[in-house]
Amino acid sequence: MSRNNANWIITAQCPSKLGSVDVVTRFLKEQQCYINEQHTFDDKCAKRFFIRSEFQPQREDFNPAAFRDAFSLRAADFAMSFELTEPGYRVPVIIMVSKTDHCLNDLLYRHRAGKLAIDIKAVISNHALLEPLVAWHGLPYYHFPVSAQNRAEQERQIWQVVEETGAELVVLARYMQVLSAEMCHRLAGRAINIHHSLLPGFKGAKPYHQAYDKGVKLVGATAHFINEDLDEGPIISQKVEVVSHADYADDLVDKGRDIERLTLAHALSCYAERRVFLYENRTVVFSR
């Protein structure tokens, strides 16, 4: 398939205004672009409009720079921000991890198998334990130990890798350190975290064992953008699974890890396919 026959993606958002769908679809028609998938949502509370269109240019001389320039003039009348993503784009990603490897393993496999539109630039950890696994995949591994005394320096090292690699997204794949407020601000809208979602909630050490002691009937996971409030950032994806009295603590751990893997991969896939919109402290996520 030639580049011009592959799917491009345009995503946009603006204040709710009459004609906000038309300004996108009419322009695509005028540019001789065939829309093969489209999602829209108007948030009545926020008075905010969101749109995502996948399209195929029908002209051989399709010029993305000219497309952006021309659409910018139309979008200005709606105070509309937009992004054009070319076919085959792979999001530059850095993965951060501590000792637990189930989410990292899953992302490394999906990356190697071409199941996610991401380009893993490096893996960063506060432990050296997982370096052989990452080396087997032929990826750079940075070991930055952290303590209360060197946390600021360690985060400077992390940020240096982010800048040098040009990473668009940082994935906290069970990275068991709390990032500083400054780091959270720097990574606002650019970092996704995964954690368990047990009902009721259990914090601290061994949450699945606490859940077993209380006889929980649901385990789950939440993937979200990070912010200064621990595990309370804008949510991208959540999944749950029913469990029973026959599931022991170790069973809950295993099922919880499976859900964490799937939830993180789903969130990352939605992000890479430009299905996630962030506005203030909420997300709009169009289905795949």
What integer pLDDT is reported at residue 3 of this predicted model? 41
What integer pLDDT is reported at residue 200 of this predicted model? 65
**Band of the pLDDT at 2, cuts 50, 70, 90?**
very low
Chain mean pLDDT for the chain: 93
CATH number at residue 238: 3.40.50.170
Residues 95 and 68 in one domain: no
Q: Does the pLDDT of residue 171 top 60, yes or no? A: yes
As beta bridge partners, residue 241 has: 219
Residues 60 and 98 in one domain: no
What integer pLDDT is reported at residue 1 of this predicted model? 33
* Phi, psi (deg, nearest 5) at residue 112: -65, -35
Residue range 4-17, pLDDT digits in tens: 447 999 999 999 99
CA–CA distance, 71 with 69 (Å, rounded to integer): 6
Four-CA torsion 275, 287, 187, 261, nearest 10 degrees: -130
What integer pLDDT is reported at residue 107 of this predicted model? 98
CA–CA distance, 207 with 9 (Å, rounded to integer): 40
Residue range 178-231, pLDDT digits in tens: 999 999 999 999 999 999 887 667 777 788 888 888 898 988 999 999 998 777
| Nearest residue to 193 via CA among 164, 156, 242, 226 | 226
Q: Considering only 56-65, 85-94, 116-125, 222-231, which range has the smallest mean pLDDT? A: 222-231
> Is 9 in contact with 52 (CB distance < 8 Å)?
yes
* Phi, psi (deg, nearest 5) at residue 169: -140, 140
Residues 26 and 112 in one domain: no
Sequence-separated (6 or more) residues with CB below 8 Å from residue 3: 86, 87, 88
**CA 93 from centroid of its chain's CA atoms:** 10
What integer pLDDT is reported at residue 127 of this predicted model? 97
DSSP letters of the chain? Answer: --GGGSPEEEEEEEE--TTHHHHHHHHHHHTTEEEEEEEEEEETTTTEEEEEEEEEE-STT--HHHHHHHHHHHHHTTT-EEEEE-TT--EEEEEEE-S--HHHHHHHHHHHTT-SSEEEEEEEESSSTTHHHHHHTT--EEE----TTTHHHHHHHHHHHHHHHT-SEEEESS--SPPPHHHHHHTTTTEEEEEE--SS---SS-HHHHHHHHT-SEEEEEEEE--SSTT-SPEEEEEEEE--TT--HHHHHHHHHHHHHHHHHHHHHHHHTT-EEEETTEEEE---
**CA 112 from centroid of its chain's CA atoms:** 18
- Taking residue 150's Cβ as centre, other Cβ atoms within 10 Å add up to 13
Mean per-residue pLDDT for 74-103? 97
Mean per-residue pLDDT for 117-127? 97
What integer pLDDT is reported at residue 206 of this predicted model? 84
Mean per-residue pLDDT for 37-54? 97
Percent of the chain whose predicted confidence (pLDDT) is above 90: 85
Residues 151 and 74 in one domain: no
Residue 14, domain extent = 3-85
What integer pLDDT is reported at residue 8 of this predicted model? 97
**Band of the pLDDT at 288, cuts 50, 70, 90?**
confident
User: What pTM was estimated for this model as a whole?
Assistant: 0.93
Domain count, the chain: 2
Residues 64 and 98 in one domain: no
**Band of the pLDDT at 232, cuts 50, 70, 90?**
confident
Final residue belonging to a domain, choices 85, 116, 143 = 85
Final residue belonging to a domain, choices 33, 53, 85 = 85
Residues 101 and 219 in one domain: yes
Q: Does the pLDDT of residue 148 top 90, yes or no? A: no
Q: Does the pLDDT of residue 279 top 70, yes or no? A: yes
> Is 90 in contact with 119 (CB distance < 8 Å)?
yes
Which sequence positions are flagged as catalytic? 231
What integer pLDDT is reported at residue 199 of this predicted model? 60
CATH number at residue 12: 3.30.70.260
Residue range 237-255, pLDDT digits in tens: 999 999 999 999 999 999 9
